[in-house]
């Protein structure tokens, strides 16, 4: 078997695996979550969070007042500024509403590593370093981004692994007519539609 044939066979296997995973996740009737944040680094905080039912309707969609300020680079993406957040609740109040809904659930996000990290950081900034680690929450985060990378099958020449795609790009590639507005509710809906698209394919 030639290298190119082996590559095609390998991709077909991984695409099939991604489809089967998407079907399995959707059978669990997961929730879909997205955040917008003050930045991307180790001090980034959640400033907007949305959680969507499997049906596509929102459970929660609201702004969150951070302890710090919104970075210019982040503002250029989501257009949420400090003034818009002045009357929003702090993260502890928001999480008090959301944690009973999310505990024990399968929760899909587009880049689960990032969203789960900024949620943890926001919690620790209010309750103190290491506070999140002491919690007993059991949230089964699943990442639509890494699953879509496997489904799409494009190789990143630098890493040799499957290329990650921006959510907007993934939606366009799958001809999903939902805007990537870089606001939490729209992006959670787009992640849901992307999962439904993958789960609907023939393995």
pLDDT (0 to 100) of residue 2? 35
pLDDT (0 to 100) of residue 139? 92
pLDDT (0 to 100) of residue 66? 97
Mean pLDDT by 10 residues, the chain (203 residues): 46 89 97 97 97 94 97 95 97 94 96 96 92 84 97 89 93 89 93 97 83
pLDDT (0 to 100) of residue 14? 87
pLDDT (0 to 100) of residue 11? 66
Q: Could you tell me the CATH superfamily of domain 3-199?
A: Ribonuclease H-like superfamily/Ribonuclease H (3.30.420.10)
pLDDT (0 to 100) of residue 180? 72
pLDDT (0 to 100) of residue 80? 97
User: Hey, where are the domains in the chain?
Assistant: 3-199
pLDDT (0 to 100) of residue 10? 59
User: Who's near 154: CB < 8 A, 6+ residues apart?
Assistant: 162, 163, 165
């Amino acid at each position: 078997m030639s290298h190119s044939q082996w590559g095609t066979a390998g991709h077909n296997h991984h695409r099939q695996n991604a489809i089967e995973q998407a079907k399995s996740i959707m059978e669990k009737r997961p929730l879909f979550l997205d955040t917008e944040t003050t930045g991307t680094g180790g001090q980034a905080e959640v400033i907007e969070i949305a959680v969507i039912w499997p049906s596509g309707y929102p459970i929660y969609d609201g702004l969150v007042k951070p302890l710090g300020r919104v970075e210019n680079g982040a503002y250029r993406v989501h257009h949420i500024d400090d003034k818009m957040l002045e009357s929003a609740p702090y993260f502890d109040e928001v999480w008090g509403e959301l944690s009973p809904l999310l505990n024990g659930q399968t929760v899909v996000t587009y880049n689960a590593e990032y969203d789960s990290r900024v949620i943890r950081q926001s919690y620790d900034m209010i309750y103190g370093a290491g506070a999140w680690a002491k919690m007993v929450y059991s949230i089964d985060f699943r990442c639509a981004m890494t699953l879509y990378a496997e489904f799409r099958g494009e190789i990143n020449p630098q890493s040799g692994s499957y290329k990650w795609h921006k959510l907007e790009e993934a939606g366009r590639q799958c001809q999903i007519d939902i805007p990537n507005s870089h606001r939490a509710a729209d992006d959670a809906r787009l992640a849901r539609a992307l999962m439904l698209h993958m789960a609907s394919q023939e393995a």
